[in-house]
Amino acid sequence: MKVNLLDFDLQGLTRLCEQWGEKPFRATQLFRWIHQKGAINFAEMSDLAKTLRLQLEQHCELVALPVVSEHRSTDGTIKWLFDVGAGNAVETVFIPEDDRGTLCVSSQAGCAVGCRFCSTGHQGFSRNLTTGEMVFQLWFAEHFLRREHQTSGASPERVITNVVMMGMGEPLQNYDVLLPALRVMLSDHAYGLSRRRVTVSTSGVVPMIDRLAQDCPVALAVSLHAPNDALRDTLVPLNRKYPIAELMQACLRYLEPAPRDFVTFEYCMLDGVNDQPEHAGQLIELIRHQGQHLGTRWCKLNLIPFNPFPESGLLRSPKAQVQLFSQQLLDAGVVTTIRKTRGDDIDAACGQLAGEVQDRTGVQQRREQRIESQVHWAPKPVYVDESH
């Protein structure tokens, strides 16, 4: 059985080449061909020895995910849906800005965390993605956009400057294959992204936050969404296992190796649920109490407008209420941003759905009909972090 070279970081690829008696620099050459040049045909890797190319042909492949669909927003956002087999698909979204281009990458087909405000959580969990399936989303978008820019006469330089693991799934529940994917993104022989420009978003898997701090400390975003355990238990079920105090301490530990001097907290604004002045006051007290001598500057709050979907039973906070909430935090010295959504017209905005919640992972069909071919797809929230 052939191995997928997209599953390997540079260290893993070096070990593979050494098994064939090749020197480490050959792995670096191969790594560059794949990621920097976007080569998929071993024959075109002209500076590799013929014996190595023969080994690659016999034992290796580059597995491309079929593109189910591509949608483009009037604001420039592009959403791709990739088939990952067995009736499952994942979304990848590119969000262009004046000063950067952000790619939102999925880590799982579905999600097992089950946050109340998240459409993916309502659609169930199917499986973890492989390293290669995560890396392919960046590989595809990077070289697709480069070719598109070149065709239009624009510079073919890289247009993806930031990657956020904020797509479908909980990245830290797929940690062992996430880690080599992050290393590929950061490698100067691949995409050369800085640790500040790669963000892992988590609902609060405390032990894995500590492991990430040791293994590959990139920027960290935490889905907080509530200022107290009682409320967060209902919105983010994982809180029952890792309550807020434990989560805050993990975030504070993360600050020492982190590439930034703050942790980002994501806070989805839900009308009458978590958006009242008392909630803002509790947030301020939480940040001050946990941060102790650090004051309020050790974190940043991103307030996310919620796009309702029928299964949630929740509504978006009015704009005026979001502004008041933000101002209360700002007046207390908490760095706060109201995050904008992108791609509303192609169902690529934060939690936005067209019509009813569809069964992205096929969980309902498997449960009720066991007919895989009837799967329908619906969008996952895409969060645009204004700090990147």
Among 81-90, 112-121, 252-261, 376-385, the minimum mean pLDDT is found in 376-385
Q: Which position has the token pair 């704009």? A: 319
The amino acid sitting at 26 is R
Which of 301, 160, 134 is CA-nearest to residue 226? 301
16 and 101 inside one domain: no
Alpha carbons 59 and 360: distance in angstroms, whole number: 34
Domains of the chain: total: 2
The amino acid sitting at 258 is A
143 and 16 inside one domain: no
Note the pLDDT of residue 201. 98
Give me 298's structure tokens: 């050790």
Domain ends where: 41, 61, 81? 61
**Confidence category of residue 98, pLDDT binned at 50, 70, 90:** confident
The whole-number average pLDDT for the span 233-252 is 98
127 and 27 inside one domain: no
Note the pLDDT of residue 371. 28
Say what percent of the chain tops pLDDT 90.
77
166 and 202 inside one domain: yes
Alpha carbons 169 and 166: distance in angstroms, whole number: 8
Q: Is 350 a known active-site residue?
A: yes
Q: 381 in a domain, yes or no?
A: no
Asked whether residue 344 carries a pLDDT value surpassing 80, the answer given is no
Residue 264 exposed, middle or buried by CB count within 10 Å (0-12, 13-18, 19+): buried
Alpha carbons 38 and 165: distance in angstroms, whole number: 22
- Give, as one character, the DSSP assignment of residue 303: E
The whole-number average pLDDT for the span 140-154 is 87
pLDDT tens digit string along 269-288? 999 999 999 999 999 999 99
Q: Which position has the token pair 């307030």? A: 303
Q: 282 in a domain, yes or no?
A: yes
Q: 380 in a domain, yes or no?
A: no
50 and 199 inside one domain: no
Q: State the catalytic residue, choosing from 22, 91, 133, 142.
A: 91
Which of 267, 288, 182 is CA-nearest to residue 221? 267
Q: State the catalytic residue, choosing from 115, 118, 216, 350.
A: 350
Q: 14 in a domain, yes or no?
A: yes
**Confidence category of residue 384, pLDDT binned at 50, 70, 90:** very low
47 and 145 inside one domain: no
74 and 198 inside one domain: yes
Domain containing residue 275: CATH number: 3.20.20.70
CB neighbour list of residue 324: distance below 8 Å, 6 or more residues apart: 277
Domain ends where: 61, 76, 97? 61
Q: 115 in a domain, yes or no?
A: yes
The whole-number average pLDDT for the span 119-140 is 93
Among 143-152, 172-181, 199-208, 342-351, the minimum mean pLDDT is found in 342-351
Q: 382 in a domain, yes or no?
A: no
CB neighbour list of residue 74: distance below 8 Å, 6 or more residues apart: 345
Q: Is 251 a known active-site residue?
A: no
106 and 223 inside one domain: yes
Find the domain containing 273 and state its range.
67-374
31 and 105 inside one domain: no
**Confidence category of residue 346, pLDDT binned at 50, 70, 90:** low
Note the pLDDT of residue 367. 36
Note the pLDDT of residue 207. 98
Mean pLDDT over all residues of the chain? Answer: 88
8 and 23 inside one domain: yes
**Confidence category of residue 357, pLDDT binned at 50, 70, 90:** very low
41 and 116 inside one domain: no
Alpha carbons 220 and 262: distance in angstroms, whole number: 9
The whole-number average pLDDT for the span 105-109 is 96
Q: 263 in a domain, yes or no?
A: yes
Domain ends where: 42, 61, 80? 61
190 and 216 inside one domain: yes
Domain containing residue 22: CATH number: 1.10.150.530
pTM: 0.89
Q: 73 in a domain, yes or no?
A: yes
Note the pLDDT of residue 341. 75
